[in-house]
Amino acid sequence: MISLELIRLLRHIRNAGTLSQAAAQSGKAASALTYQVDKYEDSLGITLLQPHGRTIRLTEAALHICEMGADILNSVDSLEAQALAIGTGVEPRIRLAVDTWVSTDAVMSVISDFLAEYPQVELQIEHQALQGTWDALTTQRVDLIVGAIAPKPAGSGVQTLPLGKTERVLAISPDHYLAKRGSLLTDEDLEAARWVVIKDSSSMSPKRDLLPTTPQSVILVDSLEAKLAAQIQGLGIGFLPPQVAKSMVLKGQLVEIKLHSRPPDIEMLLAWRTDSRGQGLIRLIDMFSSADLLPQY
């Protein structure tokens, strides 16, 4: 029988890379982990470990258990938190996914105020981008997403609050060839230019990029900080939050480029699952809903 213990054990071995590394990280002998896995192999009638050169690694069957078991572990963790929230009113932990477009400083300011009221609540924070932010919520990896880009997925069983809309400013290095045009850029100019784009972190849903065209070349990055650095270096063009772009323009590191048609604003949302009811989450939602979450530089 596949148990939660087995899923956690196999995922620990997979994440460590090898059986010996997993044993070292857990402070156990490799033989102790092997013995645990052997018991499950006998029970299930399948092989979970196999030699790989001088090391021992997981079989395809074991890797499949790891992959499919991730959702099971997330569901169990979510169920535990819900049960404790019902029983005590306050959940033991709250997991957040923050979109890369959101100010980390602003998030931490909210977190600081929250922990002053709920010091016993454990917070787990991860960063996601675009559709990956929604994935984290709908797969129950997190309880709250901050700065998710509208619209919400259809039939997702989530509630949302608007955080506001923000424009996007096209900003490029003063040394970039398009900065020397002195005129509005055409669609052909945009298609020919290299763009710096924050990569959608989704591994499940169709990816989004929010670009006005299909460029011939892109540089994919995983954070707003990396995107800004690439654009300052003149590696490509791209949209930035208005406060960031204006700050860099004032410093002479970027110039703002006007387009024939203004790109649509993006709407940022707070979102959580409809089955969430803990007091801590409710308070955190209230705090984030009144915060200014756009980055400042």
What is the arithmetic mean of pLDDT over 65-83? Answer: 81
What's the CATH number where 11 sits? 1.10.10.10
Q: Are residues 97 and 161 in the same domain?
A: yes
Which CATH number do you get for residue 144? 3.40.190.10
Check which CATH number belongs to the domain holding 241 and give it.
3.40.190.290
Residue 138 and residue 283 in one domain: yes
Percent of the chain with pLDDT over 90: 44
Same domain, 146 and 198: no
What total number of domains does the chain contain?
3
| Co-location of 40 and 106 in the same domain | no
Whether residue 158 is found in the same domain as residue 97: yes
- Which range of residues forms the domain containing residue 214? 169-264
49 plus 124 within the same structural domain: no
76 inside domain: no
Overall pTM surpassing 0.75 (yes/no): no
* In a domain? residue 297: no
Give the C-alpha distances (Å, rounded to integers) separating 100 from 145, 150, 180, 280, 297: 11, 14, 30, 23, 15
Pick 26 or 120 by higher pLDDT: 120
- Domain-located, residue 58: yes
Distance separating alpha carbons of residues 19 and 10, to the nearest angstrom: 10
CA distance 265 to 253: 24
235-270 confidence digits (pLDDT tens): 999 999 998 999 999 999 999 988 877 888 999 999
> And the tokens for 38?
């052997």
Work out whether strand 158-166 and strand 266-273 pair parallel, antiparallel, or are unpaired: antiparallel
User: Are residues 162 and 280 part of one domain?
Assistant: yes
75 within domain boundaries: no
How many Cβ atoms sit within 10 Å of the Cβ of residue 290?
8
Dump pLDDT digits (tens) for 167-196: 899 999 999 999 887 667 888 888 999 999
